[in-house]
């Protein structure tokens, strides 16, 4: 480190929730979309939120003028922000840009959401989180140039209110590595090849930030920790070396902090160590303190600030503060300059435990809140640890060294006491649940021969060629949401609420019959959320009141807290499904959420392996499926949209993950008769990555997202030889666009080019709950019209 390097702050976070404590940003953005507020009004709401965030972070213990507060605001997504900053706007949206390539707010949202015939950028999960980012499209036609100075303006905005903040942007390697080749690109084209053209834009940006007075910038490079992205490791490492030698060599730039959340850097560490960047971030929740470093790497690291990501940004437990402190201390053996941080951005956790009054949960007497840390509590934890590190306190230090150190010791002790209380609390371990999970045998995990199942299901269901269905939910109308709110407030009785939901179900059934769908659903009106609904009906979970977390754009979810052993006190969905089946002769799918997804979209206890927890959830679902079948339901769908999301980023962890994730699905579903058709639904289009897992799930029918990527997945399905039923989506439900009959026909035909017709099902990409009725009905009608046209054209294949 040169003398001119400003000190890195002793404590920081990698990012903070952007949606607002009461989802103010969501509301403002949606009001802007609806045309009820102007762009200026939206801008001023956003500026207010940024100001509130800075003030709050300072109040919680981060410094106002030491670059410890990161600028991670976004109107929609940080990858989209990076794309519009560097001018990577796809040609179909070129008309949105002015002469300098700049895009206004309306244009920004158009790229995210699509318009008319122009599909939006694809969306996919951010590492192993439930956050979705927009996938930049990069091709030979992409002209990189600094097209937005929003980052600089936000820094200046903060400076005007007396703050010296730390601008944050996705790093160039991650930006390109997660990008996809545009349609204009020739075969074999890789966005990472454009690094040389992109770096000058980052250089310009760094220069502008330096002129504005920024002392530190944070470049997020999570791609460096992942072994599951679609780029050869050697190429990724080469890019990192080139990018950070190049940016590092610039003069007059701010100091650079490269953050690498979501895992350990492994072989990327020596590479980054050898570059001139001034600070490196380590995710010490997922990864370990680096050891066995050779002398060159060790001496390079000794000259940098090492940022110890010891507070879990991805979960809500108060955690073991003493252990976190110990890990930060261990990093201090590698460099005289160590700072404390969160492991990831706090984007993944809600704002504040103090916003929860009830934390309702059966079997927990209300001490749950003391076990938790949301974003604000985590900031406080960082501040405590940072003070402790500075004061030389901590587990190994002699007590009473300084009074500051004593104060910190007492914080560490309080966290340890809360942890001990949690582990001993009633409900955390339930003997009956544990005995049942321990007594399972091989047979509990497998169904009969697939061919026999196909024959039995054909006889039981009598479905046409290219059967049509939906993924489960129908639009959640304002009336439905209002009824649920009234039920919660006690303004509706359970009986009145049930009657309203039944009326809704009857409407949805009638609509599906009119449209001509083959396998019907009840539409899930009674579910606020596909995971929370089950969490509310299972023991071992608690739900929050204000614990919102951004999922994508303006969309938020409220993850439940899985704190204890899981069991099902009584049937959950059976009455709804049997009521629905009573309304129609067509088969109705019973709809359940699978164990992996229930885990992925909840905050899960961290005191036992995920696989043990998944097994408990699977047993509860198995009982539910048994009851559905006994009540006459012939098709059951167990959604596992998060199967890919939880796939560990490191290859060495895959086998264990696939073992327990697949095992829990099979445990849930293997109890049914051959004639009962088991569906599953997955929510992403990178089928290839988890094809083995999908095959092993052994579901009779798997529906998967495919429309947004225009059936890219078909190649993977074909080459994998997957031979069960498969429904590649033909309708992108993430966008309000109605696909035309011609468009859907083309997608179906593309599917049939790669997959034998007898396997193919026709369905949307995902559930319809976020859509409006008008567009949903129009789209489903187009899907049916297209299906009929293809059925008429393609000869019905003989049974296999």
| Residues annotated as catalytic (active site), given as ranges | 734
473 is an interface residue for ligand GLN by CB under 6 A: yes
639, 645, 686, 700: which one binds ligand GLN (CB under 6 A): 639
Sole window of 223-231, 339-347, 614-622, 762-770 interacting with ligand GLN (rule: CB under 6 A): 762-770
Residue 785: helix, strand or coil by DSSP?
Answer: helix
* 186 vs 182: CA distance, rounded Å: 9
> Which residue carries 């849930």 as its tokens?
668
Cα angle 648-650-653, degrees, rounded to a multiple of 5: 65
Footprint of ligand GLN on 576-595 (CB under 6 A): 591
Q: How far is the CB of 767 from ligand GLN (least distance, A)?
A: 2
Q: Pairing relation of β-strands 561-567 and 603-604?
A: parallel
764: which residues sit within 8 A by CB, 6+ positions away? 470, 471, 707, 729, 730, 731, 733, 779, 780, 783
10, 101, 594, 767: which one binds ligand GLN (CB under 6 A): 767
The footprint of Zn ion on this chain (CB under 5 A) covers a number of residues equal to 3
Q: How far is the CB of 529 from ligand GLN (least distance, A)?
A: 9
Q: Which is nearer to Zn ion, 643 or 751 (CB)?
A: 643
Sole window of 85-93, 407-415, 465-473, 666-674 interacting with ligand GLN (rule: CB under 6 A): 465-473
Q: How far is the CB of 567 from ligand GLN (least distance, A)?
A: 23
b/e burial code for range 495-528 (CB count within 10 A of at least 16 → b):
eebbebbbebbeebbebbeebebbbbbbbbbbbb
Sole window of 64-72, 107-115, 119-127, 765-773 interacting with ligand GLN (rule: CB under 6 A): 765-773
* 604 vs 261: CA distance, rounded Å: 19
The footprint of ligand GLN on this chain (CB under 6 A) covers a number of residues equal to 13
Contact 119, 707 (CB under 8 A): no
388, 394, 553, 641: which one binds ligand GLN (CB under 6 A): 641
Footprint of Zn ion on 636-675 (CB under 5 A): 641
Q: How far is the CB of 441 from Zn ion (least distance, A)?
A: 32
| Cβ atoms < 10 Å from Cβ of 758 | 15
Closest residue to Zn ion in the complex (CB): 766
42: which residues sit within 8 A by CB, 6+ positions away? 28, 29, 31, 32, 75, 105
For the chain, the distance separating the N- and C-terminal CA atoms, rounded to the nearest angstrom, is 69
Site string for Zn ion, 357-396 (x = CB under 5 A): ----------------------------------------
Site string for ligand GLN, 506-545 (x = CB under 6 A): ------------------x-----x---------------
Q: How far is the CB of 641 from ligand GLN (least distance, A)?
A: 4
* 148 vs 83: CA distance, rounded Å: 10
708 binds, among ligand GLN, Zn ion, none (CB under 5 to 8 A by kind): none
Please spell the DSSP secondary structure of 491-543, one letter per residue: SS-HHHHHHHHHHHHHHHHHHHHHHT-SBB--B-TT-SSTTHHHHHHSEEEE-
> Which residue carries 């007059």 as its tokens?
252
62, 205, 225, 683: which one binds Zn ion (CB under 5 A): 683
The conformational region for residue 523 under phi > 0 = left, psi -120 to 50 = alpha, else beta, is left
Q: How far is the CB of 506 from ligand GLN (least distance, A)?
A: 19
224, 766, 783, 786: which one binds ligand GLN (CB under 6 A): 766
Cα angle 531-560-33, degrees, rounded to a multiple of 5: 70
Q: Which is nearer to Zn ion, 29 or 683 (CB)?
A: 683
b/e burial code for range 476-494 (CB count within 10 A of at least 16 → b):
beeebeebbeebeeeebee
Site string for Zn ion, 734-773 (x = CB under 5 A): --------------------------------x-------
Report, in angstroms and rounded to the nearest whole number, the Rg of the chain calculated over CA atoms: 26
Q: Which is nearer to Zn ion, 353 or 707 (CB)?
A: 707
Q: How far is the CB of 553 from ligand GLN (least distance, A)?
A: 15
Q: Which residues bind Zn ion (CB under 5 A)?
A: 641, 683, 766
Q: Which residues bind ligand GLN (CB under 6 A)?
A: 471-473, 524, 530, 591, 639, 641, 681, 683, 766-767, 769
């Amino acid at each position: 480190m040169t003398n001119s390097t400003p000190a890195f702050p002793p404590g920081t976070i990698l990012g903070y929730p952007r949606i607002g404590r009461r989802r103010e940003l969501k509301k403002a953005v949606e009001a802007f979309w609806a045309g009820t507020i102007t762009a200026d009004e939206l801008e001023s709401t956003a500026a207010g939120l940024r100001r509130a965030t800075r003030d709050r972070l300072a109040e919680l213990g981060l410094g106002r003028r030491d670059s410890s507060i990161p600028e991670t605001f976004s109107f929609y997504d940080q990858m989209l922000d990076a794309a519009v900053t560097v001018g990577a706007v796809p040609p179909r949206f070129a008309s949105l840009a002015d002469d300098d390539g700049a895009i206004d707010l309306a244009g920004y949202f158009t790229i995210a959401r699509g318009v008319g015939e122009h599909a939006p950028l694809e969306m996919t999960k951010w590492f192993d989180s439930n956050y979705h980012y927009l996938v930049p499209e990069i091709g030979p036609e992409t002209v990189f140039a600094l097209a937005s100075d929003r980052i600089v303006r936000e820094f200046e905005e903060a400076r005007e209110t007396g703050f010296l903040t730390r601008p944050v942007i996705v790093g160039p390697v991650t930006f390109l590595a997660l990008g996809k080749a545009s349609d204009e690109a020739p075969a074999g084209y890789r966005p990472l090849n454009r690094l040389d053209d992109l770096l000058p834009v980052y250089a310009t940006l760094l220069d502008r930030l330096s002129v504005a007075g920024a002392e530190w910038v944070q470049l997020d490079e999570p791609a460096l920790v992942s072994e599951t992205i679609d780029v050869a490791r050697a190429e990724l490492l080469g890019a990192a070396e080139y990018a950070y030698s190049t940016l590092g060599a610039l003069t007059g730039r701010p100091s650079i902090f490269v953050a690498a959340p979501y895992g350990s850097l492994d072989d990327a560490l020596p590479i980054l160590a050898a570059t001139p960047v001034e600070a490196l971030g380590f995710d010490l929740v997922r990864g370990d303190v680096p050891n066995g470093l050779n002398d060159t790497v060790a001496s390079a690291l000794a000259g940098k600030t090492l940022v110890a990501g010891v507070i879990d940004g991805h979960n809500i437990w108060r955690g073991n503060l003493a252990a976190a402190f110990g890990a930060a201390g261990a990093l201090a053996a590698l460099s005289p300059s160590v700072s404390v941080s969160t492991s990831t951005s706090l984007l993944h956790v809600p704002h504040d435990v103090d916003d929860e009054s009830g934390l309702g949960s059966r079997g927990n007497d209300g001490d749950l809140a003391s076990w938790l840390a949301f974003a604000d509590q985590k900031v406080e934890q960082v501040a405590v640890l940072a003070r402790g590190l500075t004061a030389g306190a901590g587990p190994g230090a002699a007590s009473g060294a300084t009074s500051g150190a004593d104060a910190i010791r007492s914080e560490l002790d309080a966290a340890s006491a809360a942890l001990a209380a949690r582990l001993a609390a009633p409900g955390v371990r339930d003997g009956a649940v544990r005995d049942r999970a321990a007594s399972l045998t091989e047979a509990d995990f497998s169904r009969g021969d697939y061919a026999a199942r196909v024959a039995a299901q054909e006889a039981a269901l009598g479905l046409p060629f290219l059967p049509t269905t939906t993924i489960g939910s129908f639009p959640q109308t304002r009336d439905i949401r209002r009824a649920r709110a009234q039920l919660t407030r006690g303004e509706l009785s359970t009986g009145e609420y049930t009657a309203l939901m039944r009326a809704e179900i009857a409407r949805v059934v009638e609509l599906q019959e009119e449209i001509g769908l083959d396998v019907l659903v009840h539409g899930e009106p009674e579910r606020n959320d596909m995971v929370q609904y089950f969490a509310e009906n299972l023991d071992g979970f608690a739900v929050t009141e204000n614990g919102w977390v951004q999922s994508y754009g303006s969309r938020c979810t409220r993850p439940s807290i899985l704190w204890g052993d899981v069991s099902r006190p009584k049937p959950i969905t059976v009455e709804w499904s049997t009521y629905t089946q009573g309304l129609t002769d067509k088969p109705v799918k019973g709809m359940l959420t699978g164990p992996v997804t229930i885990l992925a979209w909840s905050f899960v206890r961290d005191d036992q392996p995920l696989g043990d927890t998944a097994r408990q959830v699977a047993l509860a679902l198995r009982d539910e499926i048994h009851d559905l079948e006994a009540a006459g339901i012939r098709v059951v769908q167990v959604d596992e949209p998060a199967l890919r999301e939880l796939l560990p980023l490191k290859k060495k962890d895959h086998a264990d993950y696939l073992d327990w994730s697949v095992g829990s699905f099979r445990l849930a579903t293997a109890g049914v008769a051959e004639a009962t058709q088991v569906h599953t639904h997955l929510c992403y289009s990178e089928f290839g990555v988890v094809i083995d897992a999908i095959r092993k799930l052994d579901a009779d029918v798997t529906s998967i997202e495919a429309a947004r990527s225009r059936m890219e997945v078909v190649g993977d399905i074909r080459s994998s030889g997957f031979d069960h039923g498969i429904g590649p989506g033909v309708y992108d439900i993430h966008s309000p666009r109605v696909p035309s009959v011609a468009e859907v026909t083309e997608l179906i035909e593309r599917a049939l080019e790669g997959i034998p017709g007898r396997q193919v099902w026709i369905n949307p990409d995902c559930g319809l709950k976020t859509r409006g009725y008008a567009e949903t009905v129009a789209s489903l009608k187009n899907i049916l019209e297209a299906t009929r046209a293809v059925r008429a054209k393609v000869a019905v294949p003989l049974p296999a």
